[in-house]
Amino acid sequence: MYCLILVRHGQSQWNLENKFTGWYDADLTEKGLEEAEKSGELIKQLNIEFDTAFTSLQKRAIKTLHEINKKLGSTITQITKAWELNERHYGALQGLNKNETKKKYGEAQVKIWRRSYDIPPPPMSRNDQNHPVFFDIYKNIDPKKIPDSESLKDTFNRAVPYFKKFIFPELKVKKKIIISAHGNSLRAICKDIFNISDLAIVKLEIPTGNPIKIIFGEDLKIENYEYLDKERAEKIFTNI
């Protein structure tokens, strides 16, 4: 069986505070930890022995994977962390309250920045001490590769090539894989594997802490998929 689990990290502190988080390394809230633990419980019920896992460099995704692995009895020993799976960089919006930003720029403009496929928010200045180039967790990344702002398309253009080069080949040898990442990096991956159009992808919202199970057939075509927490499931648009 070819099995892939996608899970968006549990609620972070900046999710709770309704802030644009992006590459800021926000921690999980108590609710976020509970969501991560529940994700682990739901995944454990599948009775699948997972071979490997991938996550970003951000603690909210790493801790979510850690809690899942604890529920699985720490059976996943091969874990890869990659900046390519990071959340989308929200540029100059990073750290701003979303409601206050709507008041400042107008709801229509903020909607374009948040939900359009290829229009990024205003860039963050490289002199801003809150820019990711100043964060220790990114010190081993070539600064030229660290963005000042990203659209979902930009996120797609880093996350999907990584997925195709390092993760999909693992599926080809029938490995069972978990990816613990972020709303936008997972939306980008879903866009690719579900062949979601540029128009439809703006409607896809992945809930925190609700794993998506995807089963592939022998031809590596998707056979079925589902959210494990049915009460919090969202529709995955596959053909618009």
The full DSSP string for the chain is -EEEEEEEPPPBHHHHTTB--TTS-PPB-HHHHHHHHHHHHHHHTT-----EEEE-SSHHHHHHHHHHHHHTTS---EEEE-GGGSPPP-GGGTT-BHHHHHHHH-HHHHHHHHH-SS-PPPPPPTT-TTSGGG-GGGTTS-GGGS-S---HHHHHHHHHHHIIIIIHHHHHTT--EEEEE-HHHHHHHHHHHTT--HHHHTT--PPTT--EEEEE-TTS-EEEEEESSGGG--------
DSSP-assigned beta bridge partners for residue 6: 179, 212
Token pair recorded at residue 67: 């809690």
Catalytic residue selected from 9, 66, 89, 131: 9
- The maximal CA–CA distance of the chain, rounded, in angstroms, is 52
Residue 9 a catalytic site member? yes
DSSP-assigned beta bridge partners for residue 131: none
Catalytic residue selected from 87, 89, 170, 182: 87
Active site amino acids:
9, 87
